[in-house]
Every structure is written in C-alpha cells, then in structure tokens.
C-alpha cells in the first residue's frame, strides 16, 4: 500500500486509513490507492465490513483545492464513491475533526457514518464559489431531507455531530475511541446481515418534500446571494435531486460544478482561501512566541469594549481600564448587554455568557495592568494622548509585555519612540464593531521585535481574526486605499452624478453598499471632524454637516431616512445643493455612467494598492485583497482589488488612469510603476510585489 492509504484488518473488519497531512485532502496520490484498496476489499472474503478512517487531526477535509483548474487525474472522487456503492458488505465512515466537502461526500458513499462527538460535518464548497461536485447535492437530501440539505449546502456552514445525528446524517455519535467503536459497529452490522442499501437508493425523505415550500426557501436564499453564481447553482442542484432520477440529477450536478470551477468567481474565492492562510505566514513565524493569557485594554468605549469582547470570546482574561468608575461601569454594562443580546438571538448559551463575563476585571488604576501580557490602548485618536498613555505604561507593564496601539491613522513609529521599549510595541488596528469584524491590521513598526509580531499574529488567529501585517503609513493599507477610492466622490457629484447613481454602480458591482450610503451609516460628522483637524475641506459634505445632516443617526445625510428606517430615500434638497455648488463653480453637469464611476473610484483604489505594494507597506498583493474583502466589503466573487485588477485587465486600467490623469491632472490617477509592471508581466509577483 502507499503511505497515503493503509489497510489493516481487525476481526474480519477491514480498516482503510487515509493519511495525507495536514487535512487529508483527496489529492490524486490519495484517490488512486484508495480506489485500488476499496476495489480489492470489495471482493476480499476475508473482509466482512469496511471502515474508512483518517490519521492525524481530521477526517477528509475535502477535495484538494490546489488541483482545481488543472487537468483531472483519474480516478476521480465520483468514481471512488460509485465503487463504494457497489460494495455488498457494510461500509462505515469513522469521522473525527471535520468531514467537509469531498470528505463528507466520501462518507455519504458509505452505508453508515459513525462520528466523534466533537466532529463537524458540512459541504462548504459554496464558500469557494462551487457546489459539492461529488454527489453531495443528490445524496445529502436523501438522508436529511431537501430543506435541511438546502440550508447546509447554500450556507456552507458545518453542523455538529449531535445535530448530524438528529438530522439522520450520522448513525452513531461516540464519546471516545472512535476507531474501535466504528470497527465494533461495522462488525455488528455485518453479523446482522444485509441487504445494505446505498444512500443513492434511499428515497423516502425526498418523497416527503413540499416542492413549493422548497422553492420559497430557495428564493429567500437566492436574495442573499448578491451576484454570486454558486448559491443559485447549489439550490438548482438540490432541486434536481428532488425532481430528477438519481443518475440524471448527478449528471446535472457535474455540469453545474464544471461551469463553476472554470469561472472567475470560483477562481477569485479560491484565491481568497489561500490568501487568508498566506497572510499568516510572516518572517519569524516559527520563532518562540511570548505567552499571552491576560490582556489589558485601555478605554472601555465602543472600540475598547469591542476589543475586550474579542479577546474574551477567544478565552483570554481581560483587564478593562477606564478613567472613572462611571465610564467603567458604562463600558462593562454595554459588554454585558451585548452578550445578553447574543443569548436572546441564540448565538451564545447562557453558560458561555457567564463564562465570558467571568473573564473581565474592571479597574481605574493603571497599576492593575502590571500582570498583563499584552496591553492594547483604545483611547482617543490623538497623538499626544496616546504618547501619554505609553509613557505611563513604560513604568508599569511587566518586562516582556507586548504594547499595542489601536490606531486607524497615526504614525506607530512616533508612538513607539515615546516608550522605553519600542521593540515590544506594534499597532493593532481593529475594525468596528471589533467583536464582530474579522479583519485585524497588525502594524509592524520599525523597531518591533520579530517574535512580538509572530506572537500577535498567532493570537489574532486564536481570537478568530483574519490578520494582515502592514507597515507604517497614514491609514495603513485599508484606510489609505479607502481615501483613494473616495477622492473623486465629490467631483462625480459636481460633474453630474447623484449619490444614488454612484451607490448603484457600487452595488451592481457587488459591494453591499456604495460610499454615500456607507458615509450615512458611519456618520458624516466623523469625516468632517477629521477634515477640520487636518485643515481640509469637502465642498458638499461640509455644508451637509453644517446643516446638521450627519447621516442615519440624524435622519438626514446624503439621503433622507424615514423615522427609524434604514432605507435611504433620495433627497431633492441634497440634489439641489449639489446643483448649486456645481453652478457656483461653473461646472456644466452631464450624465455620468456606471463605467466612468468605476473607473474613477476603483481604478485609483487598485493604483493606491500598487503604490502600497511598491513601498513595502503590504508584503503581498493577496494581503491587500484579504484586507479589502474582510474589512471593507469588497465582493468576494471578484477576489479583492488586486485580484480583480487582473480580471479587469491591468493594461486597460493603466490606460484609463492615464486618460483621467490627462483630463484632471490629479495625482491619484498617475499610474504606479508597479501597476505598469503588472500590466506588462501579468502577475504581481513578477512585477516585484511579493516578499
Ligand atoms: C470539494 O471538496 C469539492 C468536491 O465537492 C468535489 C470534487 C470533485 N485542499 O485552514 P488551515 C491546507 S472543495 C488543499 O490553516 P485549520 C491549507 O491551505 C473543498 N489544501 O487549518 C493550509 O495549508 P498551509 C471543500 C487544503 O486547522 C493547511 O491545509 N473543503 C485544503 O485552521 C491547513 O489549513 C473545504 O472547503 C484542501 N481542501 O482548518 C475545506 N484544506 O499550511 C477547506 C486545507 O500550507 N479547509 N488545506 O497554509 C478548511 O476549511 C480548513 O482548512 C479546515 C482546517 C477546517 C479543514
């Protein structure tokens, strides 16, 4: 046998062990020996039953994603499953860790599934822009019913072993010694005798389906798909399982899979899957990490409270520091209220809430931070205030404690210079609400020690964040590019577009909302304050703010909002203001199409990304994609701005930037050298963009 697949026999039960670290993906070098082993065991009189299990930390986590887009080597997964279904003796999948995608499909090819209590089972292909292509859409509904299968396949969210048992997906859940229990189960089934019916022939659950209720559920899910093809294809495939004979439905699934796997959306989503994992790979990541078990947070406002919750959610102890008892009480009360809401929504158990609240300690005394391994300041965004905080921390924090500033814009090197231990300091730029948003920009300052960076990168993963290491510059990666994206917004309005037209171009592109809706949601006063602090002005937005139009919270901003509603309504007064400002400047307004809006907002976004790459503020183009998808809502089906630049044609982007540069003279349009090289070479890496 190959080392990827090993076979043993215990009391007449054959055990096939897949061993393909790290996650037992079904690569070609697994599929071939697996097929051969099963073919041999099918006809082996010495094997009365077959158990398929995995070595290492998990059952099969799916097809090998790195093989997509390359010619398929035989045997395919579908052939292995088809072979399994011809085995006349009982076949049992012994599931620990995760049975995902092709892994669960392999298990569905078995007669029975025995799972460890901690196991998770799911078909997450949709998250890669795919549908289950190994018969998952036709077999899963036969076990759990069409409605449950639809929910699992369209969401891609795995379920627990307990839930899988209740749904009919697994036959037994065991608390310990999974393999021994699975062998015992298989032996018992063999002794009891057949016939053993493959899942493909179990039609009872499907026959119960209420097709109109199914269609209503599918239509509801399709509404949330926002331009993505995979969720719709998933629903179509499950519907086929209800309405078509098994083999026809299976063939239709294959066609849908082939179309998706060769499409740009799935390429983009697969790119993001690897990009997120790549982002965690930093120089020095194998260094000895510092231990972090207690985290101090300075400031219990919205940001500090959210950060504190993020750490508590990851099981860390938290000391929350405020300047007064009153502010501390308010901060802790908000945290408790947030957890109560989670319990009422069913996303947190009462017990987990109690445990998390038990991790908090409040204080108004800096010396209480002395036992913290990491201290994150989340005070007012003001250099002098931050420097004062770090001045104090220098005297209080224990030796080796990591010091972090949660800043969105400020110079972390300058902050580091205010402490006696700059090697221990870095930036942690959380996104609001910090307990919900997945993105964390970790800002590496000039003197940050490599093991400090490695420790915080690991810690970010522990608390469920997608972390990207960035360098120091105004706004780091995300906010610096955001300001490039928005720099033409007011010009577009003055020259003829309405906020609604700009926002529609964005939502048609796939963004959850456009920049004006976003501004109204965040509050226009925030940008106004920032502009005033930096001596900048905005022709229209400043006037709106002077009139008290701060966005949703005041019922008026770029749009009107009916009492209590979040739905934006075009505001004729805002449009009149825009016309008046244009007239004052002698600008003749004209019709502006979606294409021009994209060229003047998203091309500068890409251009700024290229500059960031050139300066080394981001290490990889894919890191920038991770930032934009996880922190700013860039459509996942387009893979992030840098990946999308390839789809849109970098040569075309350069050409149009040059055009707008000639027209306006504005530096934002001047193509970056790195972007030009990308246009010539076809990859960011060969343009010199990777570390
Ligand atoms: C599918 O099955 C299609 C079929 O329906 C049809 C076929 C015809 N392939 O995430 P981690 C790598 S589609 C290749 O850091 P964790 C990953 O890149 C697939 N590589 O660990 C990383 O490599 P590196 C459906 C894979 O413990 C390393 O493994 N399945 C695959 O945090 C560790 O990964 C899925 O979508 C793969 N399938 O999480 C499941 N999976 O060390 C995808 C992982 O070089 N995987 N790698 O950076 C996951 O969700 C998580 O990896 C898992 C473990 C939960 C399993």
What interface predicted TM-score (ipTM) does this complex get?
0.99
Residue 690: predicted pLDDT: 60
Cα angle 128, 134, 140; round to 5: 95
Confidence bin at 224 (pLDDT 50/70/90):
confident
Q: What is the mean pLDDT of residues 469-498?
A: 95
pLDDT in tens, 176-220: 999 999 999 999 999 999 899 999 999 999 999 999 999 999 999
Q: Which of 12, 105, 23 lies closest to 51, judged by CA?
A: 12
Residue of 29, 62, 260, 467 to test ligand 1 pocket, by largest number of atoms within 8 Å of CB: 62
Calculate the alpha carbon distances from 275 to 94, 271, 376, 681 in Å: 31, 6, 27, 20
Calculate the alpha carbon distances from 25 to 70, 103, 274, 363, 654 in Å: 16, 8, 15, 48, 40
Residue of 18, 65, 155, 282 to test ligand 1 pocket, by largest number of atoms within 8 Å of CB: 65
* Residue percentage of the chain with pLDDT more than 70: 99
Mean pLDDT of all residues belonging to the chain? 95
* Residue 417 DSSP class: T
How far, in Å, CA of 257 to CA of 243, rounded? 19
Residue 493: predicted pLDDT: 98
Looking at the CA of residue 57, tell me the nearest atom of ligand 1. 27
Residue of 21, 22, 79, 258 to test ligand 1 pocket, by largest number of atoms within 8 Å of CB: 22
Looking at the CA of residue 103, tell me the nearest atom of ligand 1. 2
Confidence bin at 285 (pLDDT 50/70/90):
confident
- Ligand 1 center to 389 CA (angstroms): 42
197: part of which helix (H) or strand (E)? Answer: none
Catalytic residues: 105, 125
- Ligand 1 center to 378 CA (angstroms): 35
Residue 564: predicted pLDDT: 77
Looking at the CA of residue 278, tell me the nearest atom of ligand 1. 48
* Residue percentage of the chain with pLDDT more than 90: 91
Q: Which of 58, 171, 61, 167 lies closest to 118, judged by CA?
A: 58
Q: Which of 102, 86, 131, 100 lies closest to 252, judged by CA?
A: 131
Atom 16, ligand 1: residue with shortest CA distance: 23
pLDDT in tens, 600-645: 999 999 999 999 999 999 999 999 999 999 999 999 999 999 999 9
- Ligand 1 center to 530 CA (angstroms): 42
Looking at the CA of residue 66, tell me the nearest atom of ligand 1. 14
Looking at the CA of residue 156, tell me the nearest atom of ligand 1. 36
> Which residues lie with the beta carbon below 6 Å from any ligand 1 atom?
22-23, 25, 58, 61-66, 77, 98, 100-102, 105, 124-125, 128, 130, 132-134, 136, 274, 277
Atom 18, ligand 1: residue with shortest CA distance: 274
**Residue 110 in contact with residue 94, Cβ under 8 Å?**
no
How far, in Å, CA of 525 to CA of 542, rounded? 9
Atom 28, ligand 1: residue with shortest CA distance: 22
Residue of 23, 59, 152 to test ligand 1 pocket, by largest number of atoms within 8 Å of CB: 23
Atom 46, ligand 1: residue with shortest CA distance: 61
554: part of which helix (H) or strand (E)? Answer: none
Looking at the CA of residue 105, tell me the nearest atom of ligand 1. 5
- Ligand 1 center to 66 CA (angstroms): 9
Least confident of 104-108, 402-406, 683-687: 683-687
Confidence bin at 2 (pLDDT 50/70/90):
low
* Residue 31 DSSP class: H
pLDDT over threshold 60, residue 1: no
Burial class (CB in 10 A: 0-12, 13-18, 19+), 293: exposed
Q: What is the mean pLDDT of residues 69-93?
A: 96
- Ligand 1 center to 234 CA (angstroms): 20
How far, in Å, CA of 118 to CA of 95, rounded? 10
DSSP letters along 656-677, please? HHHHHHHHH--GGGS--HHHHH
Confidence bin at 518 (pLDDT 50/70/90):
very high
Looking at the CA of residue 274, tell me the nearest atom of ligand 1. 18
Domains of the chain: 5-194+202-262 (3.90.226.10), 294-472 (3.40.50.720), 497-584 (1.10.1040.50), 594-681 (1.10.1040.10)
Residue 642: predicted pLDDT: 98
- Ligand 1 center to 639 CA (angstroms): 18
Q: Token digits for 576?
A: 């009149």
Q: What is the mean pLDDT of residues 650-677?
A: 97
pLDDT over threshold 90, residue 527: no
- Ligand 1 center to 320 CA (angstroms): 37
Least confident of 359-363, 461-465, 651-655, 686-690: 686-690
Q: Token digits for 381?
A: 């965004």
- Taking CB atoms within 8 Å and a gap of at least 24, the contacts of 284-290 are 284/450, 284/451, 284/453, 284/454, 285/454, 285/457, 286/454, 287/450, 287/451, 287/454, 288/451, 289/451, 289/454, 289/455, 289/458, 290/373, 290/400, 290/402, 290/451, 290/452, 290/455
- Ligand 1 center to 28 CA (angstroms): 15
- Ligand 1 center to 61 CA (angstroms): 6
Q: Token digits for 156?
A: 């891609």
Atom 23, ligand 1: residue with shortest CA distance: 277
Atom 10, ligand 1: residue with shortest CA distance: 277
How far, in Å, CA of 427 to CA of 477, rounded? 13
Is it true that the peptide bond before 680 is cis, omega within 30 degrees of 0?
no
Residue 22: predicted pLDDT: 96
Calculate the alpha carbon distances from 313 to 149, 308, 339, 463, 578 in Å: 30, 9, 10, 7, 46
Q: What is the mean pLDDT of residues 71-88?
A: 96
């Amino acid at each position: 046998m190959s080392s990827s697949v090993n076979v043993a026999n215990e009391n007449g039960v054959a055990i096939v062990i897949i061993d393909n670290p790290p996650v037992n993906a079904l690569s070609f070098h697994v599929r071939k020996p697996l097929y051969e082993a099963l073919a041999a065991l099918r006809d082996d009189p010495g094997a009365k039953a077959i158990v398929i299990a995995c070595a290492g930390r998990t059952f099969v986590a799916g097809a090998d994603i790195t093989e997509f887009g390359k010619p398929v080597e035989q045997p395919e997964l579908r052939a292995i499953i088809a072979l399994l279904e011809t085995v006349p003796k009982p076949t049992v999948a012994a599931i620990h860790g995760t049975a995902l995608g092709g892994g669960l499909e392999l298990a569905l090819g078995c007669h029975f599934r025995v799972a460890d209590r901690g196991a998770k089972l799911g078909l997450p292909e949709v998250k890669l822009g795919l549908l289950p292509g190994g018969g998952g859409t036709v077999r899963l509904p036969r076990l759990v019913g069409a409605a449950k299968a639809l929910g699992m396949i369209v969401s891609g969210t795995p379920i627990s072993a307990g839930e899988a048992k209740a749904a009919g997906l697994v036959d037994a859940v065991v608390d310990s010694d999974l393999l021994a229990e699975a062998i015992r189960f298989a032996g018992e089934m063999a002794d009891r005798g057949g016939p053993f019916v493959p899942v493909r022939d179990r039609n009872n659950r499907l026959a119960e389906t209420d097709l109109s209720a199914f269609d209503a559920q599918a239509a509801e899910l399709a509404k949330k798909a926002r331009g993505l093809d995979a969720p719709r294809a998933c629903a179509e495939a499950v519907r086929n399982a209800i309405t078509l004979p098994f083999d026809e439905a299976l063939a239709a699934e294959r066609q849908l899979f082939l179309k998706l796997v060769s499409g740009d959306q799935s390429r983009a989503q697969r790119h993001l899957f690897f990009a997120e994992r790549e982002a965690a790979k930093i120089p020095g990541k194998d260094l000895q990490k510092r231990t972090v078990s207690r985290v101090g947070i300075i400031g219990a406002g919205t940001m500090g409270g959210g950060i504190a919750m993020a750490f508590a959610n990851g099981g860390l102890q938290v000391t929350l520091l405020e300047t007064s008892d009153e502010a501390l009480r308010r901060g802790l009360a908000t945290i408790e209220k947030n957890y109560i809401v989670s319990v009422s929504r069913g996303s947190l158990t009462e017990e987990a809430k109690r445990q998390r609240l038990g991790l908090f300690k409040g204080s108004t005394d800096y010396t209480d931070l002395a036992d913290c391994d990491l201290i994150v300041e989340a005070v007012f965004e003001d250099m002098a205030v931050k420097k004062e905080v770090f001045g104090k921390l220098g005297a209080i924090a224990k030796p080796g404690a990591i010091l972090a500033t949660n800043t969105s814009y400020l110079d972390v090197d300058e902050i580091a210079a205010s402490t006696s231990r700059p090697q221990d300091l870095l930036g942690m730029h959380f996104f609001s609400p910090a307990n919900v948003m997945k993105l964390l920009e970790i800002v590496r300052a000039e003197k940050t020690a490599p093991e400090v960076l490695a420790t915080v990168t690991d810690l970010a993963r522990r608390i469920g964040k997608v972390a990207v290491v960035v360098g120091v510059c105004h706004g780091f990666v995300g906010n610096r590019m955001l300001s490039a994206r928005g720099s033409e917004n007011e010009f577009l309005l003055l020259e003829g577009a309405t906020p609604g037209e700009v926002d529609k171009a964005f939502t048609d592109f796939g963004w959850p909302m456009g920049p004006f809706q976003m501004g109204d949601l965040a509050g226009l006063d925030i940008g106004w304050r920032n502009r005033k602090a930096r001596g900048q002005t905005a022709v229209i937005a400043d006037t709106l703010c002077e009139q008290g139009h701060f966005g949703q919270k005041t019922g008026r901003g770029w749009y009107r909002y009916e009492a209590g509603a979040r739905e934006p309504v075009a505001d004729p007064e805002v449009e009149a203001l825009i016309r008046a400002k244009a007239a004052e400047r002698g600008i003749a307004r004209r019709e502006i199409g979606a294409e021009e809006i994209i060229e003047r907002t998203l091309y500068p976004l890409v251009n700024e990304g290229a500059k960031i790459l050139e300066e080394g503020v981001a290490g990889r183009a894919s890191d920038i994609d991770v930032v934009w998808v996880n922190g700013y809502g860039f459509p996942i089906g387009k893979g992030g701005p840098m990946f999308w630049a390839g789809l849109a044609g970098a040569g075309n982007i350069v050409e149009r930037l040059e055009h707008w540069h000639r027209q306006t003279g504005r530096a934002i349009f001047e193509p970056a050298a790195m972007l030009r090289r990308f246009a010539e070479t076809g990859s960011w890496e060969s343009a010199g963009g990777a570390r």
